[in-house]
A and B are shown apart, each in its own frame.
Chain A
Amino acid sequence: MRRRDKERRGNIITHAVLALFSLYIALPPLWVLRTSFVPESTAYSIAILPGFTLDNYVKLLVKDKFWLAYADSLTAATVSTLLALPLGAMAGYAFARYRTGGQVSRFVILATQMLPPVAIVLPVFTLFRTFDLTNSVSGLVIAYAALNLPFLTWILMGFFEGVPVELEWAAMVDGATVWRAFWKIVLPVSLPGLAAAAVLGFILAWNEFLFALVLTGPTTATIPVSLAALQSQNGVQIAEVSAGVVLGVVPLLIASRFIQNYLVRGLTFGAIK
């Protein structure tokens, strides 16, 4: 009896904490959602809905061709992540199990991440222009895959280090090669890590600005570039920006269910014999 009460009390506190935190996170976006549906001139009003309009969305999608930026962002983020994930998993595995390259290389690959983008934006632009990869989504895909690979490698390295090596030994004793052990045993167990890495890769690419600005042209711009263009000399078109932000959040919201499933599944896989 006492245990159940204690549990219930714990439950209430738990949900209270989470509810508060959710408000802290969600209230600003809710205000953004509201602002996306009001006319620009009343955007700063204190009223909840001083006039309802779909003009911001229409203007954004039709006049500012936001849908194009949307498609470009989706492509760049998805493809670059799909490209980087297997490469990152393999490299992370090498670092975790084989200490490939020693202590040095794991930090060296992070070097590109540690530089403010402003330092390498000109060199990257020069390099990509040589191969005619500017003003194209493929160029951006390659750039993002290479840019995010170090972080993905690190995250997966961390997860692999947490996987008991006995699992692979058991598989290899049964006659599997290291390769098979990796793909059939280690990866499935590390699904939470892979999910987290995939999400990270997608988000980094989705939100990246400087490289997109420099490497894309008018038809290949991504969402951040497109939204940044809404700051004009006359001021910020905040209602339109709000609409753009709302639209930009949708893919991840949809994917959150997917992410969460894999993290939850990790619970059962985490039970090691």
Chain B
Amino acid sequence: MTAEAAIEAPKPRRQRDRWRATGWKFAAPGLSMIAIVMGFPLIYALLLSISSFTLLHPRLQPFIGLENFRTVMADEYFWHSVWITIKYSAVTVAGEFLLGLAIALVLNRVVRLKAVYFAILTIPMAMSPVSVGLVWHMLLQPNLGIINRLLDASGIGGIDWMGDPNLAFWTVVFVDVWQQVSFVILILAAGLASLPKEPYEAAEVDGAGEVQQFWYLTLPMLRPVAAIAIVIQLINETRTYDLVYVLTRGGPGIATDLLSYFAYRRAFLGLSISEGASVSFVLLLMVLALTVVFFRLVTRRA
């Protein structure tokens, strides 16, 4: 049947301790690096969020507990940002996953031209978010950009992609999905490529159709990899900042005011690094909660 995950811990205590120690020996180098290089700044950032550190008063003390959080949460625009960020992450991740899965499945079947498709897929991934923003800004420029020019020429008329308050959000979503879907395809394709062949052969023999094979074999076996792809993308999307900065600056109005842009403004425009840090930690808690819940839901043992 399908592969099992962790080895069970042995029962006798000495063996179990040795078993545990092996695990830690494997994990130690990686975890140490993370702890040293990122752990210290993370703790420092946590301290920042409960401190009164501003660019004008660059000292941690006096510590003011949850004061920063209270200040930030009293701002009505903060909650709007939270809502927009949740909406944005949900929509982009869903879009990337659904589109990505569909394409990965199709890609998995072809043999010829696979190299070409792969090569094309890598292009958006090789562009930094700032570049993606600049390039799409050029394409979507309402008066001079090539897309609107073509729309004008064909009689449909140009669209105000980034300036229409009802459309701007979806424009940013579209650009983000355009860039990120390749990565999801890559992970899912790798996952699909690793699936064992026997179950499918057995299913063919049993007369199962393609849809059944997909639903009862592919999806369950792909779950761990799919879960990881979604978690990684969820984390990436909630942090979206560069695209908003280049395309809309959070506008028009507040239509695209994502939380990480909000945090940046608090820190570097409002000069209150401590407030920026507290907004960031709210974001972290949100994402952590979503991630844990989602992961638990999806990776229940079959």
Contacts and interface: CB of A to CB of B under 8 A. Distances in A.
B98 interface: no
Contacts of B29: 87, 90-91
A127 interface: yes
Given A97-B7, A158-B227, A192-B193, A118 B134 contact: no
Contacts of B110: 11, 14-15, 18
A46 B149 CA distance: 7
B4 A165 contact: yes
Contact of B264 (A35, A94, A116, A127): A116
Contacts, number: 332
A31 B146 contact: yes
Contacts of A61: none
A94 B24 CA distance: 7
Contact of A120 (B34, B45, B123): B45
Nearest to B27: A94
Contacts of B287: 114
B299 to A, nearest CB: 8
A1 interface: no
Interface string A236-251: 1010011011001101
A25 B178 contact: yes
B68 to A, nearest CB: 12
A234 interface: no
A257 to B, nearest CB: 6
Interface of A: 10-11, 14-15, 17-18, 21-22, 24-26, 28-29, 31-32, 35, 43-44, 46, 87-88, 90-91, 93-101, 105, 107, 109-120, 122-124, 126-127, 142-143, 145-147, 149-151, 153-155, 157-159, 161-165, 178, 182, 190, 192-193, 195-196, 199-200, 203, 206-209, 223-224, 227-228, 231, 236, 238, 241-242, 244-245, 248-249, 251-253, 255-257, 259-260, 263-264, 266-267, 269-272
Interface residues of B, number: 110
Given A93-B26, A119-B49, A252-B122, 20 more contacts: A25-B120, A25-B124, A98-B26, A99-B9, A105-B31, A107-B292, A110-B235, A114-B288, A116-B260, A157-B228, A158-B224, A158-B227, A161-B224, A192-B191, A199-B186, A203-B126, A238-B134, A259-B186, A267-B193, A270-B194
Interface string B110-139: 100111111111111111111100111111
Contacts of A155: 187, 228, 232
B239 A44 contact: no
A115 B31 contact: no
Interface in B23-39: 23-24, 26-27, 29-31, 33-34, 36-38
B281 interface: yes
Q: Name, among A26, A87, A164, A236, the residue most crowded by chain B CB atoms within 10 Å (CB to CB).
A: A87
B211 interface: no
Contact of A227 (B107, B131, B178, B268): B131
Contacts of A253: 119, 122-123, 126
Which secondary structure dominates where chain B touches chain A? helix
A96 B3 CA distance: 12
A229 to B, nearest CB: 10
Given A14-B109, A32-B135, A255-B122, A119 B144 contact: no
Contacts of B231: 110, 154
Contacts of A163: 3
A111 B7 contact: no
Interface in B166-217: 178, 181-183, 186-187, 189-191, 193-198
Interface of B: 3-7, 9, 19-20, 22-24, 26-27, 29-31, 33-34, 36-38, 40-42, 44-45, 48-49, 102-103, 106-107, 109-110, 113-131, 134-139, 141, 144-146, 149-150, 153, 178, 181-183, 186-187, 189-191, 193-198, 221, 224-225, 227-228, 231-232, 235, 238-239, 241-242, 259-260, 263-264, 267-268, 273, 276-277, 280-281, 283-284, 287-288, 291-292
A28 B242 contact: no
B248 to A, nearest CB: 15
Contact of A164 (B3, B22, B137, B232): B3
Contact of B235 (A113, A123, A193, A252): A113
B226 to A, nearest CB: 9
B190 A263 contact: yes
21 contacts: A14-B109, A17-B103, A44-B144, A90-B29, A100-B23, A100-B26, A110-B235, A111-B284, A114-B284, A117-B241, A118-B241, A118-B264, A120-B44, A127-B37, A161-B5, A178-B22, A208-B128, A209-B128, A224-B130, A264-B193, A267-B193
